[in-house]
Chain A
Amino acid sequence: MAMASAAITQDEKPNYLNADYGIKSWLLTTDHKRIALLYLISITMFFFLGGFFAMLIRLELLTPAGDLVTSDTYNKLFTMHGIVMVFLFLIPAVPTVLGNFLVPMMIGAKDLAFPKLNLASWYVYILGGCWVLYAIITGGVDTGWTFYTPYSTTFSNTNVVAAAVGIFIAGFSSIFTGINFIVTIHRMRAPGLTWRRLPLFIWSNYATSVIMVLGTPVLAITLLLVAAERLFHLGIFNAQLGGDPLLFQHLFWFYSHPAVYIMILPGMGVISEVVTCFSRKRVFGYDFVALASICIAVLGFLVWAHHMFVAGISVYAAMVFSLLTFFVAIPSAVKVFNWIATMYQGSISFETPMLYAFGFIGLFTMGGMTGLFLGSLGIDVHVHDTYFVVAHFHYVMVGGMVMAYMCGLHFWWPKITGKMYPEGWAKLSALLTFVGFNLTFFPQFILGYMGMPRRYHAYPPEFQVLNVLSTAGASVLAVGYVLPMIYFVWSLRYGQDAGPNPWRAAGLEWMTSSPPPTSNFETTPVVTWEAYNYDEIDKQQEVPVAS
């Protein structure tokens, strides 16, 4: 007689969702799990706002002429798309939604080190996000999300200061989260949980937090100086005074390059968790994958000027940055190889999270390799500021990071809500996302190589076919994103009850009920096993076949 679980419904067992009711219990919560859900809702809203701008961009690009919107409006569209997607979606998404929910649980803690700081982090994010919304509603910004001077400081007539202040405020949200994670991981691990027994999701979020803490302040001061130049004529970047517009670019990219690693590292952490679970195998080369996260964080700070190869830096500097850019690809490649080696001779199954993980590995690899093309000086001269760059970063950010986010949402949805999503619809969405993504962005590699510049609302007629394919792909991709919104909400009411560990996954978060109680664990766990001990897990749950 196998485990006969009593039919206890969600409503009867006390958990963090039914622990308290009313809007105040959510808006004044210090429970990391509730804060994660607050973030989930706000981030989803900003994702669709950014997607709305993308839709307008792709609609304009259906025809070669600039006929849907004026060029000024088009400049605002791609700027707002970039600002919303980068600062209000990609940077926070996995750390604040999945990280906030899971980091304490994965280390056996009751909450993060600074629960009130965690809530403050969300409020600061909302304040920054609303400030950016204000900038959008009152006319938008047209400088590009990169705010290059002197256009942003002197010539643009749009809401540069408002947008800069909004991003500045939102940056503090990152900093608070980063501080919280670092201190939590250092100080609050359960007894027996040594560093080398930690799930790789923790290592990834730790490395991400280090980057957040070191890099975000530099963006903060850079944006502040742009605002100061506009408001108070403190002309630090003003060429008429002898100021250097390139100084802005150096300061800006010093944050914004590590920022892309803030975006991707947590996603990689998700993939490590999912690939091991659905291969029923411990990760290949745990130490190397953990070390790779740290190396990406460190090396990521050394390559910023590869965004500036044709901006007027010296050839010798460019060569150094190109070489360093090649180095930073190595730890990412190590991770990809180790995931694949994990799958080798594993017992692979194709549930939705694993489908997204496969998508991630393929698309991130393509994006990463095209990053190497861009890091090669000769090629970059040809494709810089073309759609090749746009395709590259969308491959790593959307094909990589957003897929990893969807992967993680599906994998941990049963834990977060206690419900299973409908697997058929989920698989369909994953497929639509993959097909739609490739149809959207692969043509852009070709367009860029053929010379179509980025940030242009009109283009030569010979580029139209590829642009139409791209827009068609974007429509499919949109469906792939809208469907999960629908079925996730549906599952809250009608989804199958999940139980504590529907995936038979390793990890402390699966050893408590779904949804978890407010204090996460009935008693603090004591850890005596290695991470990803799937051979032990599968042995324990072998049920002898009745003869």
Chain B
Amino acid sequence: MEQQKETATLGMWLFLVTEVMFFGGMFCAYLIYRMDYYTAWVAGSERMNIYLGTTNTAVLICSSLTMVLAVHFAKLGNRKATAIFLVLTILLGLGFLGIKGVEYHEHWVHHEFPGPNFHFDAPKPGAALQYSPKNVEIFFSLYFAMTGLHAIHMIIGVGLLTWLLVRNARGDFSAYYNSPIEMTGLYWHFVDVVWIYLFPLLYLIRHK
């Protein structure tokens, strides 16, 4: 069983490496364009709702805590506590997605979604921050692509957690066998870490 757990752990870490490379492509695009269009990046970032973003960050970090606790109690064989913390993690994850939905809606009604409906005010001629609204559309393209992909991973994570909840209720897990919970925990923490990178890069650029 120990060998099986070590094997599963190695497999999950390898999968997380692929996820790093997956998100990495977009981080690469972000970095290159930020170098070229810094002022547009500032302009776009200033349109982010920093309160909702910070709240979401706190929500996700809490969900990582509840996930750790779920794994902890699973290892102790405490089915009830495991269930409670799995449910809390799911609720926090859904809360994150809900807040994200609100943010997306706000952007949409302000014509900040790329495409034919995109509109971003050009800077006034004497203003301190000069940028091209076209470049801001690229910022928003990356914003929606990166947070969208992140949200899809969250949805998958919530799905996995729900399945774990079902298996836990069935009595599949014990102090002896609980690696699915631990592996899902690794995945969940990874998705959290991606957000930790996304948040400052997208929300916290401010004009110097």
Residue of A nearest to B22 (CB): A217
The total of interchain contacts (Cβ-Cβ below 8 angstroms) comes to 108
Q: Is residue A220 within 8 Å, beta carbon to beta carbon, of the partner chain?
A: yes
Q: Is residue A539 within 8 Å, beta carbon to beta carbon, of the partner chain?
A: no
| Per-residue contact bits, chain A 229-251, to B (CB 8 Å; 1 contact, 0 not) | 10011111010111110010001
Q: Is the CB of B132 within 8 A of A217?
A: no
Chain B residues with a Cβ under 8 A of chain A = 3, 6-7, 10-11, 14-15, 17-19, 21-26, 28-29, 32-33, 36-37, 40, 114-116, 118, 132, 134-135, 137-138, 141-142, 144-145, 149
Partner of A228, one of B3, B7, B145: B145
Q: Is the CB of A213 within 8 A of B137?
A: no
Partner of B6, one of A114, A187, A240: A187
Residue of B nearest to A254 (CB): B25
Residue of B nearest to A222 (CB): B25
Q: Is residue A186 within 8 Å, beta carbon to beta carbon, of the partner chain?
A: yes
Q: Is the CB of B115 within 8 A of A114?
A: no
Within 8 Å CB of B17, what residues of A? 213-214
Within 8 Å CB of A220, what residues of B? 22
Q: Is the CB of B141 within 8 A of A235?
A: yes
Within 8 Å CB of B114, what residues of A? 232-235
Residue of B nearest to A220 (CB): B22
Residue of A nearest to B19 (CB): A217
The residue among A113, A228, A242 with the most chain B CB atoms within 10 A of its own CB is: A242
Q: Is residue A216 within 8 Å, beta carbon to beta carbon, of the partner chain?
A: yes
Within 8 Å CB of B149, what residues of A? 221, 224
Residue of B nearest to A114 (CB): B11
A sample of 10 inter-chain contacts (CB < 8 A) reads A179-B14, A179-B15, A182-B14, A183-B7, A214-B18, A214-B21, A218-B21, A238-B138, A240-B134, A242-B138
Within 8 Å CB of B14, what residues of A? 178-179, 182-183, 213
The residue among A182, A221, A241, A251 with the most chain B CB atoms within 10 A of its own CB is: A241
Partner of B145, one of A182, A225, A243: A225
Residue of B nearest to A229 (CB): B141
Interface of A is mostly: helix
Q: Is residue A292 within 8 Å, beta carbon to beta carbon, of the partner chain?
A: no
Q: Is the CB of A234 within 8 A of B37?
A: no
A218-B10 CB under 8 A given contacts A235-B138, A242-B134: no
Those of A188-240 within 8 Å (CB) of chain B: 188, 213-218, 220-222, 224-225, 228-229, 232-236, 238, 240
A241-B134 CB under 8 A given contacts A114-B11, A183-B11: yes
Q: Is the CB of B135 within 8 A of A242?
A: yes
**Given A179-B15, A225-B26, 8 more pairs with CB closer than 8 A:** A187-B6, A188-B7, A214-B17, A221-B24, A232-B114, A233-B118, A235-B137, A242-B138
Q: Is the CB of B138 within 8 A of A251?
A: no
Residue of A nearest to B141 (CB): A234
Q: Is residue A175 within 8 Å, beta carbon to beta carbon, of the partner chain?
A: yes
Q: Is the CB of B18 within 8 A of A217?
A: yes
Q: Is the CB of A218 within 8 A of B24?
A: yes
Within 8 Å CB of A236, what residues of B? 29, 138, 141-142, 145
Within 8 Å CB of A117, what residues of B? 11
Within 8 Å CB of B21, what residues of A? 213-218
Residue of A nearest to B11 (CB): A183
Within 8 Å CB of A243, what residues of B? 33, 138
| Per-residue contact bits, chain A 257-277, to B (CB 8 Å; 1 contact, 0 not) | 000000000000000000000
Q: Is the CB of B115 within 8 A of A232?
A: yes
Within 8 Å CB of B116, what residues of A? 233
Within 8 Å CB of B141, what residues of A? 228-229, 233-236, 241
Q: Is the CB of B32 within 8 A of A247?
A: yes
Within 8 Å CB of A238, what residues of B? 138
Within 8 Å CB of A222, what residues of B? 25
A218-B7 CB under 8 A given contacts A179-B14, A241-B135: no
Cα–Cα distance between A228 and B3 once the two chains are bound (Å): 42
Q: Is the CB of B3 within 8 A of A234?
A: no
Residue of A nearest to B118 (CB): A233
Sorted from nearest, which 8 A-B pairs have the closest CB atoms? A233-B115, A221-B25, A217-B22, A217-B21, A234-B141, A241-B134, A242-B135, A179-B14
Within 8 Å CB of A216, what residues of B? 18, 21
Cα–Cα distance between A213 and B144 once the two chains are bound (Å): 26
Residue of B nearest to A231 (CB): B115
Residue of B nearest to A219 (CB): B25
A234-B11 CB under 8 A given contacts A187-B3, A217-B18: no
Give B158 Cβ to nearest chain A Cβ, in Å: 20
Cα–Cα distance between A114 and B179 once the two chains are bound (Å): 14
Give B153 Cβ to nearest chain A Cβ, in Å: 13
Give B85 Cβ to nearest chain A Cβ, in Å: 27
Within 8 Å CB of B11, what residues of A? 113-114, 117, 179-180, 183
Q: Is the CB of B145 within 8 A of A234?
A: yes
Residue of A nearest to B142 (CB): A236
